[in-house]
C-alpha cells in the first residue's frame, strides 16, 4: 500500500513538473514572437531613417548654382564617373557565386574580396538593403539569397560632349584631295570582343572567375579594379554574345 502511494506521489510530481515546463516553453515562444515583431519594426524604422538621411545629405551636398555673366563663357567641368553603389556591388558579387549565401556570409566574402563598407554595422546595412530590393535579390531559403538580375550601370554622359552636340558645326570647305588615314593609330579590341575570342578558342563553357584567371595567364591586362565584377556585368548584359549554360557559367555564341 505504501509503495502504491509513493508511486502516485512521484507520478503527480512528474506531471506537475511537465506542466510547469510546458508553460515556460509557451512563455518563451511568446517572447520570441514579440522580439521578432520588434526587430521587424526597428528594421523598417531604420530603413526610413537612412532613406531620409540620404535625401538630406544629397540636398546638402548639392552646391548652389552660380549666376554667370552674360558675356562670360561657361566651360563645363568634367565630372568623374560615380563609384558603384552598395546595391550594385552586392548584386555583382552574388552573380559571381554559384550558390545562395546568407547575409553575414555575403559581408565576410565581400570584405575578403577587398570591398570597404562605409556603415558601422555592415551586416545590418546589408540586411536592410537585401530586404528592400526584392526584385534584385531573390530569397531561395531562410536567410539565403541569390542575385535575381545583374545591374548594368549606364555610362556617365560627358558634359563637354553634350555641350558640343548643341553647337552647330560649320560646313567644311570642299577638300581638294582625299584625306589620308592617320598613321600610328590602332583600334584596340574591346573587352567584349577579347572575351568572346578567348571563349571561342577555349571551345568549352567556363565560369566567370576561371575566365578572368585564364585571360590573366594569357597576358590580358584588365583595366577594372575588380575584374571579376566587371566580367560578371559584361557577360550578363550581353546575352546575344555570351550564353549562360548554367549558373555562373558561360560560352561564346
Strand partners, 10: none
Encode 224-253: b = buried (16+ Cβ within 10 Å), e = exposed: eebbbbbbbbbbbeeeebbeeeeebbbebe
Q: What is the mean pLDDT of the chain?
A: 78
* Chain length of the chain: 253
Q: Where are the alpha helices (DSSP H) in the chain?
A: 2-61, 86-95, 103-112, 122-131, 159-166, 191-202, 208-217, 227-236
Distance separating alpha carbons of residues 98 and 95, to the nearest angstrom: 8
Q: pLDDT value at position 178?
A: 43
Q: Is the pLDDT higher at 248 or at 150?
A: 248
CA distance 200 to 253: 8
Write down the pLDDT at residue 128: 92
Rounded CA separation 244/121 (Å): 35
- The structure's pTM equals 0.30
Residue 76 has pLDDT above 70, yes or no: no
Closest CA to 104 of 86, 116, 122: 122
How confident is residue 140, by pLDDT bands cut at 50, 70 and 90? Answer: confident
CA distance 18 to 37: 29
Band the pLDDT of 176: cuts 50, 70, 90.
very low
**pLDDT tens for each residue of 16-51:** 888 889 888 888 988 898 888 888 778 777 766 665
Amino acid at each position: 500500500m505504501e509503495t502504491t502511494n509513493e508511486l502516485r506521489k512521484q507520478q503527480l510530481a512528474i506531471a506537475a513538473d511537465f506542466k510547469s515546463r510546458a508553460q515556460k516553453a509557451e512563455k518563451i515562444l511568446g517572447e520570441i514572437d514579440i522580439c521578432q515583431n520588434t526587430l521587424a519594426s526597428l528594421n523598417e524604422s531604420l530603413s526610413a531613417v537612412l532613406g531620409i538621411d540620404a535625401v538630406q545629405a544629397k540636398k546638402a551636398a548639392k552646391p548652389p548654382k552660380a549666376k554667370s555673366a552674360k558675356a562670360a563663357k561657361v566651360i563645363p567641368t568634367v565630372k568623374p564617373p560615380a563609384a558603384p553603389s552598395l546595391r550594385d556591388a552586392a548584386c555583382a558579387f552574388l552573380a559571381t557565386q554559384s550558390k545562395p549565401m546568407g547575409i553575414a556570409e555575403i559581408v565576410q566574402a565581400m570584405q575578403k574580396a577587398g570591398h570597404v563598407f562605409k556603415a558601422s554595422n555592415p551586416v545590418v546595412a546589408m540586411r536592410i538593403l537585401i530586404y528592400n530590393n526584392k526584385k534584385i535579390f531573390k530569397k531561395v531559403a531562410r536567410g539565403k539569397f541569390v542575385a535575381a538580375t545583374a545591374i548594368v550601370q549606364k555610362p556617365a554622359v560627358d558634359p563637354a560632349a553634350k555641350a558640343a552636340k548643341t553647337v552647330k558645326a560649320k560646313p567644311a570647305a570642299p577638300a581638294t584631295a582625299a584625306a589620308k588615314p592617320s598613321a600610328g593609330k590602332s583600334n584596340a579590341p574591346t573587352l567584349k570582343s577579347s572575351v568572346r575570342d578567348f571563349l571561342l578558342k577555349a571551345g568549352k563553357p567556363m565560369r566567370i572567375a576561371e575566365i578572368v584567371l585564364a585571360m590573366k595567364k594569357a597576358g590580358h591586362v584588365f583595366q577594372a579594379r575588380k575584374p571579376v565584377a566587371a566580367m560578371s556585368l559584361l557577360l550578363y548584359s550581353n546575352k546575344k554574345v555570351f550564353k549562360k549554360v548554367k549558373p555562373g557559367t558561360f560560352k561564346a555564341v
